[in-house]
Every structure is written in C-alpha cells, then in structure tokens.
Amino acid sequence: MEYYLRSPKWDSLRVELPTEKVINHSHIGIPIIKSEKDTGNVVAGLDERPLVEMAICNVTNGVKVRWAKEIRQSGHNKSEERYVIQINAKMLCERYFEGININNIRKVYDYLQSFKILEFSYEDFLDGYVYDCDLCYDVNATPEVWNGLCKKVHSQVKMEYLKYVPNGWTDNSRNVGLEFNSRNAGTPTHPFIKLYHKGLELTNNSYEFNQNYIKKNNLPIGRLEYNFKRRKHFEYFDVNVTTLRELLGVGMEVLKRMLLGAISKFYLEKRMVVRNTSKLGPREYYEKYLVTYAIQQGLGTEWFMRCVEDYKKYSEFAENSQVARLKAYIKKSLNDDIWKEKLERNNAVDELFADFV
C-alpha cells in the first residue's frame, strides 16, 4: 500500500450545494412521523406536530457520511437554503492515503451517489462551495519520535500563545499529539493546526475502517493537519478558493507553502539568527552559535558562569589567570545585542526560580 508520505493532501471538507441543484430522495427537511415497523406505534412526531429532520448520518465500514439542509448567508441581508455534505478521504476506502484530489474525486462522488439520498450532477458537485477544509501531511515516524517532536514544538510556543495550547501535548496509549487553537475558534492568523499520530489513530479510534481497508495496526505515520475554515483563511495566503473545483486545482507547491512552517509562523518563538558581521572564523562562529542555542533554551548568565566554577574544580592545574581569562571570555560572549533582551528575561526567571524552588 502506498502511503503518499511528505505530500500535501486534502483529508476532509464540507461541500454546500444550492437546493435547486439537488434532487432530495430522502426525508431531509420533510415533515414525517416515525413509527415502529412491527407495531406501528409512533415514536417521534405527531399529526399536528410532525418531526422535521434536517440531517441524516450513515456509517458503513467505518466511513461516515453526513447530509443536511441548512440556511446560509449568501450576501448582504440575503440567505439561501443549501444542502450540506461532509466528505472525507475515508470515502476513497483502500485509497485513503492518497487524500482527496482531482484524480480521485469522482470516486468520492460515486460513493455519495450510491446512497441515493441526495442526487446531483458531477459538474454541480465540483462547483459546490467548500468550507472547513483539512489539509494534511504525513511522514514516517514512530509514536516515540512523534512524542519527541510534539514536546519540542510545545517547548518553543510563544509565552503569549500558550493559551492556544492549554492542554499541552497528548501522550498516552491511544495517541500522541498537539493541537493549536480549536476548529471553531481558528482564524487566519491563529489557525487550527493538529499534530497527531495517524497510525495510533487508525488503530484505536478508526478500528472498523482500519480493519476493512488499511488492515495494519500501529503504522509508523505521523500527521500534520491544517484547517482552512473559510475563504479568508485561503485569502491570507493570496489564494482564492470558493468551489471544490478550485480547491482541487491548487498546485502542490502552493499547498506546501501554506502548510509547511505554519506552526512556526503563527505560534512559535522566532529563532535567533547568528549573523557573521564581524568576520568570525569557523571555531568562533560555532561557539557563538552554541551560545545562541543555549540562550534560546532559557539558560541565563548563572548557567554560563558555572563553567568557571567547574573549570576551577575539575582542572587540576588551573591557574588564577586562566580562570580570570575564562570568566572574561564568557562575559564578552554574552555581551551581544542579538540576545540581550532574551538573556535578561532568562536571568529574571533564574532569580525567581532560586527564590521559589
């Protein structure tokens, strides 16, 4: 089975069609009275107050489909009724890991039509409005490696953005992952992004689908998923997407540009760049690079000065002049504008830590 690793692909989305484009073969939006088949006893709805169901769900072999009828805003003070269909890559069955694309969307269409609930043409389907689109990217990774990634990512979240990851990262037998913001609250500049282990998810949360189509447990696959809730999420990247046809026409390089690096762009501390403006040699540049990394990890002046104490303690023939030279070298290395603010913040944290812990 091909897993299409390191290739952006659409995992799920919502398609909306105007009612005039659809023939409804179901009871969606139609007054009904539910009764037991054997006895005829009414279980829902009355003659004077019939039941009107606005949605139907079906789960077959672990593949879920939902059809609904809803009112949508279609302009200033204007609204229209639409049929709403949730589609996902599981409708591709054994071709699930391909993700939804222009080459297999007909298979998704045929799957929907096989239920004979809502009938619409293939062309109208492609011209349907799209929302809540999940773009994903799979990589080879064991749960242990994925846990390490999530831990590292979480450690670099900006202090002011920790509110978007209140639960930290998940690390248990059912899955390993990290979520930024939420599906309903996501915005173009603080989007809903998920890191989770697809192999564990298929084994533990999609058991029926896995047994019918994938037939492998605990696949070493980690997944990054980015939610484009509305058109403005695409417009943030200067991409115009209104219909399913347009969505599937977005090129691979554009998808990569939107997806890869998104977590860093929207949620993480910016990496300090070590510029060699003073023409440092390889050794000096390397030392400066390591100092930069240490400060980024939250280490303060006290940690660097421990080097002096350890040098005195573990160097049998250390002379006072050598100790003084080392101390002066460390002080000089820390006196750099590129990390001055960060180092001061680290020192303040160390001071509080010494008081409280």
Position 271 scores a pLDDT of 66
Give the chain's radius of gyration (CA, Å): 28
Position 311 scores a pLDDT of 86
Neighbours of 323 (CB within 10 A): 15
The torsion defined by the Cα of 37, 43, 47 and 50, in degrees rounded to 10, comes to -110
Taking the C-alpha atoms of residue 151 and residue 39, their distance in angstroms, rounded to an integer, is 58
pTM recorded for the entire structure: 0.80
Partners of 16 in beta bridges:
84, 129
Q: What is the 3-state secondary structure (H, E, C) of the chain?
A: CCCCCCCCEEEEEEEEEEHHHCEECCCCCCEECEECCCCCCEEECCCCCCEECCEEEEEECCEEEEEEEEEEEEECCEEEEEEEEEEEHHHHHHHHHHCECCCCHHHHHHHHHCCCCEECCHHHHHCCEEEEEEEEEEEECCHHHHHHHHHHHHHCECHHHHHHCCCCEEECCCCEEEEECCCCCCCCCCCCEEEEEHHHHHHHCCHHHHHHHHCCCCCCEEEEEEEECCHHHHHCCCCCCCEHHHHHCCCHHHHHHHHCCHHHHHHECCCCCCCCCCCCCHHHHHHHHHHHHHHHCCCCHHHHHHHHHHHHHHCCCCCHHHHHHHHHHHHHHHCCCCCHHHHHHHHHHHHHHHHHC
For every one of its 357 residues, what pLDDT tens digit does the chain have, with 9 covering 90 and above? 899 999 999 999 999 999 999 999 998 987 765 556 666 565 555 555 556 678 999 999 999 999 999 998 877 788 899 999 999 999 999 999 999 999 999 999 999 999 999 999 999 999 999 999 999 999 999 999 999 899 888 888 998 999 999 887 788 878 899 999 999 999 999 999 999 999 999 999 999 999 999 999 999 999 999 999 999 999 999 999 999 999 999 999 999 999 999 999 999 987 656 666 557 788 888 888 888 888 888 889 999 999 888 888 888 777 888 889 888 988 988 888 888 888 898 888 888 777 775
Taking the C-alpha atoms of residue 227 and residue 11, their distance in angstroms, rounded to an integer, is 10
Taking the C-alpha atoms of residue 314 and residue 302, their distance in angstroms, rounded to an integer, is 18
Position 159 scores a pLDDT of 85
User: What residue segments make up the domains of the chain, in order of their start?
Assistant: 9-267, 282-356
Query: Which of 284, 292, 275, 302 is CA-nearest to residue 342?
Result: 292
Neighbours of 347 (CB within 10 A): 15
Position 101 scores a pLDDT of 98
Taking the C-alpha atoms of residue 277 and residue 169, their distance in angstroms, rounded to an integer, is 39
Position 70 scores a pLDDT of 94
**CA atoms within a 13 Å half-sphere pointing along the CA-CB vector of 25:** 9
The torsion defined by the Cα of 342, 159, 234 and 179, in degrees rounded to 10, comes to 130
Position 171 scores a pLDDT of 82
Query: Which of 8, 205, 109 is CA-nearest to residue 214?
Result: 205
Taking the C-alpha atoms of residue 9 and residue 88, their distance in angstroms, rounded to an integer, is 11
Position 51 scores a pLDDT of 66
